[in-house]
Amino acid sequence: MKETKPRLFSSDFILAMAASLGTGFVTYFFFSTLSLLADKLTGTAAYAGYLSMAYSIAAMLSRPIAGMMSDRRGRVVTLIVGSAICAVACLMYSFANRLAFFNFSAGLVMLLAVRALNGIGFSLNNTSSGAIVPDITPKERLSEGVGLFGMTFTLAQAIGPTIALAIVRDGEMSSFNTLFYLSTAICVVSLISACLIKYERNAKKERVDRPVREVAKKADEPVGKTLFGVELNAYGPAIITMLLFFGMCSVLFFLTLYGKNREFDLVQLGWFFAVSAVGIAAARIFLSKIVDKRGPDIVLIPGFIVVVLTLFLIPLVDSTLLLICLGLPYGVSTGAVLPPLNTIMFNRCSPNKRGAVFAAYAMAMDIGITLGSLVLGLVADNISFNFVFWLSAAVHFVALLLYVFRVSDRCFNKRQRGLS
C-alpha cells in the first residue's frame, strides 16, 4: 500500500502565505518606486538612500522585539500587529506626500517617519510568519514547506515592481497616491488573512512547547566560542551576507532611478525584476540539490563570479532589452549564493543556538541594506550611477575572496582538522 505524505497545504499554511505575500508585494512596490518619488521631491538620489536607511534601521532594531513578541504573545498576534502597522503606514505615505506640497520640510520628515514605521511593521510580519511555518508544517515535509513559503517573496519580486512602475510611470503625485492606496488595500488583505489563522487558538500550549523542550534536551553543546550569544562559526557567513546585501542595494533601490536617467522605458524595466525572480526561483529549486550532494563551494564560488560580472556590465548596456537580459544571470547568481550561506551558518553551529544564528543572519541583511542604501545614494549623487554598480561589483568580489580564503568548506574543514 502506497504511503501518503502528510498534507502540506493546510488552510493555515495558505493563509500564512497570503499574509506574507501581501507585505512582500508592498515591499517590492516601494523598493522600485520610492527612489523615483524621492528624486521628484528633492532632485537627489541621496534622499532615496535616507528613505531606505530609515526602513532598514527600523526593521533591524525591531527584530529582537518581534522575536520576543512572537514567542511570548504568539506568532499569529504578532503577524496581525505587523500587517496592521503596514496597512497604516501605506495610508500615511499619501498624507506625507500631500504634506510635502504645502510644507516641504515637514513632508520629507513625515515621509522618513512613515518609512520607518513601515519597516517596523514588515519586521513583525516577516519574523512571525517565518516562525509560523515550522509550527504548521509536517515534520516530514519541513524543508519543502519552508522552501515553498519562501517563494512568496520571489513571486512578489517578479510581479511587484512591474505593477508599481506601470502605476507611477507618468511621475505624477496622483499616481504615487494610487500606489499607496493599492498598497493599503493589499495590506488589509494580509491583515484579514492573518486574523483567520486558527492553529494557535486551537492548540494547547503543551502541544506547542513539548517539541521545543525535546529538541533542547537533545541539542549538543556549542561547538565553539560565542560572541554576543552567537557562535564564532556564524560570523564569517554573516559578514559575507552583509556584503552581499550592501551590493544588492544597487539593484533594489537604484536601478529604476538609473534607468530613468538613461531614459529607459520604466515599465519595460520592470521586467528586469520579473526575469531576475525567475532566475532566483530556478536557482533555489535546482541548485539546492547540488549543494546537498556536493557541498556549497561548487555553487557559491561560480555564483559570486557571475553576480560580480553582471553588476559590472549593467552600466555598459545601452538598451532596456539588454538590461532585462542581465536580469536572468543576476537572479540565478543571487539565488545561488544566499540560501547556502544561511545553511552553512546552521550546519556549523549547534542546534540550541539556531535562534541566535537566524537573528545574526537577519541582522546581517539589515546592516548591509542600511549601509548600502546610504553609501550608494551618496555615490550616485557625488560621482555617478555607473560607480554605484561598479562599487557593488567590487564589494561582491571582496565577499568572494572572504568566502574562498576563510569561509569555504575547504578552509573550514582544514581548520577543524588542525584543531583535532
Q: Examine the domain organization and report whether 237 and 128 are in the same domain.
A: no
Domain residue limits at 135 = 11-216
Query: What CATH number is given to the structural domain containing 51?
Result: 1.20.1250.20
Q: Examine the domain organization and report whether 21 and 82 are in the same domain.
A: yes
Report if residue 108 sits inside a domain. Answer: yes
Q: Could you tell me which of 388, 128, 146, 135 has the C-alpha nearest to residue 284?
A: 146
Q: Examine the domain organization and report whether 204 and 229 are in the same domain.
A: no
Q: Tell me 137's DSSP state.
A: S
Report if residue 104 sits inside a domain. Answer: yes
Q: Which residues of the chain have pLDDT under 70?
A: 1-8, 45, 134, 139-147, 150, 202-224, 226-231, 288-289, 292, 346, 349-359, 415-420
Q: Examine the domain organization and report whether 205 and 339 are in the same domain.
A: no
Tell me the three cell numbers of residue 200. Answer: 494557535
pLDDT for position 189: 94
pLDDT for position 82: 93
Q: Examine the domain organization and report whether 338 and 311 are in the same domain.
A: yes
Q: Examine the domain organization and report whether 84 and 225 are in the same domain.
A: no
Domain count, the chain: 2
Q: Examine the domain organization and report whether 318 and 258 are in the same domain.
A: yes
Tell me the three cell numbers of residue 319. Answer: 538598451
Say how far apart CA 326 and CA 311 lie, in whole Å.
Answer: 9
Q: Examine the domain organization and report whether 265 and 342 are in the same domain.
A: yes
Q: Residue 380 contacts by C-beta under 8 Å, 6 or more apart in sequence?
A: 45, 46, 49, 254, 257, 258, 388
Q: Could you tell me which of 410, 406, 217, 203 has the C-alpha nearest to residue 296?
A: 410
Q: Examine the domain organization and report whether 270 and 242 are in the same domain.
A: yes
Tell me the three cell numbers of residue 157. Answer: 519580486
pLDDT for position 352: 52
Say how far apart CA 389 and CA 402 lie, in whole Å.
Answer: 20
Using DSSP's 3-state secondary structure scheme, residue 326 falls into: helix
Q: Examine the domain organization and report whether 331 and 239 are in the same domain.
A: yes
The CB-side HSE value for 195 (13 A sphere, CA atoms) comes to 9
Amino acid at 383: I
Report if residue 398 sits inside a domain. Answer: yes
Q: Examine the domain organization and report whether 75 and 31 are in the same domain.
A: yes
- Is residue 181 exposed (0-12), middle (13-18) or buried (19+ Cβ within 10 Å)? middle
User: pTM for this structure?
Assistant: 0.69
Question: Residues of the chain with pLDDT > 90: what percent?
Answer: 19
In this structure, how many other beta carbons lie within 10 angstroms of the beta carbon of residue 8? 17
